[in-house]
Structure 1
Amino acid sequence: MNDETPARAKNAAPQPEPFLDMSGDSDEPAFSWLTPAGKHKPGADQPGGEKPGADKPGADKPGGERIGWNEAAGGTKTAQPGSRADRKAAEAAVGSSGAGSSAAGAGATRTSAEETPSAGSSAAGPGSSAGSPVFKEPLPTSALHVRPPEEEVERRNAQRESAANAKPVAPRVMQVLLAIIYPVILLILAVRAVTSPLFLWVEYNRPGFPGDGYGFSTDDRMTYGSYAVDYLSNWAGPRYLGDLVHRGGDKLFKEGEVSHMADVKVVILSTFGAGALLLLLALIAILYLRRRSTGGVRRGLFAGSIITLALILGLGTLAALGWQQFFTEFHRIFFADGSWTFSLDDALIRLFPSQFWIDAGIAIAALVLLTSVVTLVLTWPTRRRRGIAQQEKPDAEQEKADQA
């Protein structure tokens, strides 16, 4: 068949019906050119939706004739006689041509797929043309790969960074609580150290301590003063001091002195109780910070030591500038006016003169100051304590490894 076939079919006269006797045909398939050639099926779709041989204007027909559609004549059938040998030769020629065109079409499809990977690497399906685009349904998760706008990305990054850098509220509260509690605990412990028989013995036996002009010896002072100090820390009633008598048989303390010592006992026991409660809270804060905040205990004690130093320096300055005024204002805070003033010959003044209270104040300030300084040194935020040395060491090792 060639391009001149339609022209001949137009001028040709109608042909008679072909001979349809198939008794003389062999078992060989009439369309043997459609059988597979190797691994490629000649009948498979080719680019453009065409089949090999489908566009040939003629097809084999039993009886040695070939029937073709004359497109120019509007679909008129034209019969072409031929012998069995001619038919076999034509089938062999058409089969080889179809296999070659199929291989060429497959190669062209592969080449097109390799050149345009975005359009898909598979050949066009049945009914589609070679030049038409192939519709590909998007994956269900394709929306997950869409990048949001830059403003949204920056906002999310800022939120993540802020969340990573933000510190929990509870550890910070515990650090502040520990910093506030620490100076108060130190002050109460120093007061407890001063209100002891040991401090009395040191005071009465130190050189330069003023003696009693009314007849108390050092041994008398130590005996009677120990009763007064013990009363402040025990649970005995006022009779503990009220029933004491000196050598002459008279009562050692007057009624006003016993009443004042009872008031002092209430203040001292309340202070010690508050100190015990604060110490318990401090231990809870320390245990919590040890588990939840690395370096939280150190930071809390460091801040507390700074507060303690500021407090002691401030109070010490006020006491040094005017001790009598400082002592008076201190008593006015805790006691009623007139309940804490006595004569020079009263037992409390003879046992605890003004120099005793000055020395007691100095001892309290020295103990608190020394403890806070030691705490400040032990909790000073050095590079090792802050963990910077441990962080820089892996960086230095990594840098050496990179240089090597």
Structure 2
Amino acid sequence: MKTSEKTFFTLAVVFLIAVIIIAPLRFFVFNESYYYSQFDKNNVNVDEQEEILDNLLLFFKGEESLAYFTEEEQSHLEDVKALLNKFFFSLYISVLLFFISIIILFFINKKQFKDYIPKIVFLSGLVSFTIIVLFFLASLNFSMTFKGFHKLFFSQGNYLFPESSLLITLFPAAFFKSFFLRLMLSSFLLSIIAMALQLILNKMKK
């Protein structure tokens, strides 16, 4: 394999890994039914909670300004939105660059291209699987992981609120633990599918 082939092969693997890990976040952040299932599970009973959730999700989409929340809560949610946008931008760019890498790889070596695709998919699934397992092990002490995440991404410290606040009432720690595990499970399944696809692609190649 030439240097140029190795480069775009590796890039394709890296970008597909990013897609496998980030895609579930994009799905669940805007999945209203998931929020309502968690509200029921956590016995959340807030006046106008449907309107509040609609407002929050539209805010994350950039279609509405926040209402209902205090100034401190809005400040934190602004930071959350900015972080989500970075993740989503990374997802979209990864999808685009993955296909660009694949196309370039095709033109570099058309003869070996069919052999590269199963390997790219399998390696992406394998590395994603490993990363997800590490994330899962870290989440065994979810409280520490949750605090570490906030200290890393919200270093200004505007993420601490009283138990009686609307934000904590709607989204208690149990919500985020469930959300995190759901993301890990979804990415885990995607990584398994990616590895299994190698068998299918190998059979199709024959």
Q: Which residue of 1 aligns with 2:54?
A: 226
TM-score scaled by structure 2? 0.88
What is the CA-CA distance between 1:194 and the residue it aligns to? 1.4
TM-score scaled by structure 1? 0.47
User: Aligned partners of 1:358 and 1:298: how far apart in 2?
Assistant: 34
What is the CA-CA distance between 1:229 and the residue it aligns to? 2.3
Q: Secondary structure at the match of 1:299?
A: helix
Amino acid at match of 1:210: N
Q: Which residue of 2 aligns with 1:184?
A: 18
Q: Secondary structure at the match of 1:318?
A: helix
Q: Which residue of 2 aligns with 1:316?
A: 136
Amino acid at match of 1:317: L
Q: Is the 1:233–1:268 contact (alpha carbons within 8 Å) kept by the matching residues of 2?
A: no
1:190-209 correspondence to structure 2 within 5 Å: 190-196=24-30, 197-205=32-40, 209=41
Deviations 1:253-277 (A, max 9, x none): 1111011111111111122112111
Q: Which residue of 1 aligns with 2:4?
A: 170
Q: Secondary structure at the match of 1:379?
A: helix
The structure with more radius of gyration: 1
Identity among equivalent pairs (%): 18
Amino acid at match of 1:216: V
- Higher-helix-fraction structure: 2
What is the CA-CA distance between 1:210 and the residue it aligns to? 1.9
Unaligned runs of 5+ in 1: 1-166, 245-251, 391-404
Amino acid at match of 1:203: Q
Q: Secondary structure at the match of 1:211?
A: coil
1:206-221 correspondence to structure 2 within 5 Å: 209-212=41-44, 216=46, 220-221=48-49
CA RMSD of aligned residues (A): 2.1
Q: Which residue of 2 aligns with 1:374?
A: 193
Q: Is the 2:151–2:157 contact (alpha carbons within 8 Å) kept by the matching residues of 1?
A: no
The structure 1 segments of at least 4 consecutive aligned residues displaced by more than 3 Å after TM superposition are: 380-385
Q: Is the 1:319–1:326 contact (alpha carbons within 8 Å) kept by the matching residues of 2?
A: yes
User: Aligned partners of 2:176 and 2:160: how far apart in 1?
Assistant: 14
User: Aligned partners of 2:176 and 2:194: how far apart in 1?
Assistant: 27
The structure showing larger relative contact order (alpha-carbon pairs under 8 Å, at least 6 residues apart) is 2
User: Aligned partners of 2:167 and 2:84: how far apart in 1?
Assistant: 17
User: Aligned partners of 1:313 and 1:362: how far apart in 2?
Assistant: 11
1:286-297 correspondence to structure 2 within 5 Å: 286-291=102-107, 292=109, 293-294=112-113, 295-297=115-117
User: Aligned partners of 1:273 and 1:194: how far apart in 2?
Assistant: 16
User: Aligned partners of 2:130 and 2:199: how far apart in 1?
Assistant: 16
1:267 correspondence with 2:86: no
Cα 1:338–1:383, aligned 2, differ >3 Å: closer, same or farther?
Answer: closer
User: Aligned partners of 2:167 and 2:146: how far apart in 1?
Assistant: 16
1:334 correspondence with 2:164: no
Aligned residues: 201
Q: Secondary structure at the match of 2:161?
A: coil
1:279 correspondence with 2:95: yes
What is the CA-CA distance between 1:381 and the residue it aligns to? 8.9
Deviations 1:137-157 (A, max 9, x none): xxxxxxxxxxxxxxxxxxxxx
Q: Secondary structure at the match of 1:311?
A: helix
